[in-house]
Amino acid sequence: MRLDKLLSDRGYGTRKEIKKLLSKQGAVVNGAIVKDPGYQVQESDAVTFQGEEVSCEQFQYYLFHKPAGCVCANEDHVHQTIFAYVPNPKNTLFSVGRLDLDTEGLLLVTNDGKLAHALLSPRRHVDKVYFAKLDLPITDDDIKLFSEGVDIGDEKLCMPADLARANEAGDEIRITIKEGRFHQVKRMFEAVGKEVLYLKRESMGPFTLDDSLPKGVYRTLTEEELSFLETYTNHTKD
């Protein structure tokens, strides 16, 4: 990969900005100062820029249909992990956020930390849509309360959430939240006296779970999704 592209991908600026910075200060590659933006960097190279170590590993992006019964971790001594399904030979991949052991649905798996930050930062207000089955039907009062912010016992109320019926009875719902607090959806319904019997994440930001993607199966992101990632995160520091 070109040195200017590597540094741009890692969030140090646009390619144009990187070229100017390299001409002035250069980067350190394997102990030598390099100012050529077209210098070809290898994965094994040690790169330092502006006093920070820069990973040369190629980014990987997968959309995974998580089944129930596995955890979002690299290792677990009790339960199977998502990496029983998604190959992780270098042990550098991680999930963007977590789904509970019994929760199914869309999970992004990557080694791109800036993407994870962009999608998980509360300041980004990234929509996460869940389908749930409840032990009791929701009420109009529940919908109103969720739209105002539910108290789940944290220091702050949850951000307003969109709650809607997914069937006539009202015991199947869709909820859109903009945060990712610990057991958030389950705790929100506990706050209104209801229990979540089944939970599935259907989408996260621009990513939607494919109807054709079976549980336990992953796919690489499409060119359209990758293009969106570049414009969405721009790999900027915020």
Active-site positions read 100
Q: How far apart are CA 215 and CA 176, in angstroms?
A: 22
164, two tokens? 């809607």
**Helices 113-120, 223-233: crossing angle, 10 deg rounding:** 70
Q: How far apart are CA 213 and CA 197, in angstroms?
A: 23
Q: How far apart are CA 109 and CA 175, in angstroms?
A: 23
Q: Beta-carbon neighbour count of residue 230 at 10 Å?
A: 11
List, in order, residues 6 or more apart from 15 with CB less than 8 Å away.
Answer: 4, 5, 8, 37
Instruction: Write out the DSSP string of 222-234.
Output: PHHHHHHHHHHHT
List, in order, residues 6 or more apart from 105 with CB less than 8 Å away.
Answer: 65, 66, 99, 130, 131, 199, 200, 201, 202, 209
